[in-house]
C-alpha cells in the first residue's frame, strides 16, 4: 500500500458479506521491538534483533452493511482498483455518470 491508495477489507467481524472501504492517508515505517530511537544503531551492529514494520492509517469512506466494528488486527487489506474501487466512492449506487470539467 502507498499513500492515497483506495483499499477494502472483507468481513471485519466474521458475520459474512461485510466490507470496509477507505483511502490510505498516512504511513509509518519503524523498527519492531525498538524502545529508543538509538536502538537502530544497535540493530545495524547486530546487537538487537529488530524487524521492519509499516503501519497504514485509513480514512473509512464506507461500511457495508452499516455495522460499525473495526477490522481485527492482522486481517488482510486489499488494494481497490477498477470496479473494486466503485463501492468505496459510492459510484456503484449511481445509475448514470455526470460529466464535469470544462465543456467543448
- Written in H, E and C, the secondary structure of 3-35 is CCCEEEEECCCCCCCCEEEEEEEEEEEEEECCC
The answer to whether position 16 is within a domain reads yes
Domain count, the chain: 1
The answer to whether position 20 is within a domain reads yes
Alpha-carbon span 93 to 39, nearest angstrom: 50
| Over residues 73-98, mean pLDDT | 78
What percentage of the chain reaches a pLDDT higher than 70? 87
Alpha-carbon span 7 to 87, nearest angstrom: 10
Alpha-carbon span 91 to 81, nearest angstrom: 13
Domain that holds residue 54: 6-90
What percentage of the chain reaches a pLDDT higher than 90? 14
With a cut of 70, say whether residue 103 has pLDDT above it. Answer: no
**pLDDT tens string 17-67:** 678 899 999 999 888 888 887 888 888 888 888 888 888 999 999 888 887
The answer to whether position 67 is within a domain reads yes
Q: Which three cell numbers stand for residue 77?
A: 487489506
Residues 74, 48 contacting (CB under 8 angstroms): no
The answer to whether position 19 is within a domain reads yes
The answer to whether position 101 is within a domain reads no
Whether the link from the prior residue into 13 is cis, omega within 30° of 0, is no
Amino acid at each position: 500500500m502507498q499513500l492515497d491508495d483506495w483499499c477494502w477489507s472483507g468481513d471485519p467481524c466474521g458475520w459474512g458479506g461485510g466490507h470496509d472501504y477507505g483511502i490510505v492517508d498516512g504511513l509509518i515505517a519503524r523498527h519492531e521491538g525498538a524502545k529508543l530511537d538509538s536502538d537502530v544503531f544497535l540493530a545495524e551492529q547486530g546487537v538487537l534483533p529488530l524487524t521492519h514494520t509499516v503501519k497504514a492509517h485509513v480514512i473509512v469512506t464506507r461500511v457495508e452493511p452499516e455495522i460499525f466494528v473495526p477490522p481485527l488486527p492482522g486481517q488482510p487489506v486489499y488494494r481497490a482498483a477498477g470496479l473494486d474501487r466503485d463501492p468505496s466512492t459510492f459510484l456503484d449506487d449511481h445509475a448514470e455518470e455526470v460529466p464535469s470539467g470544462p465543456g467543448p
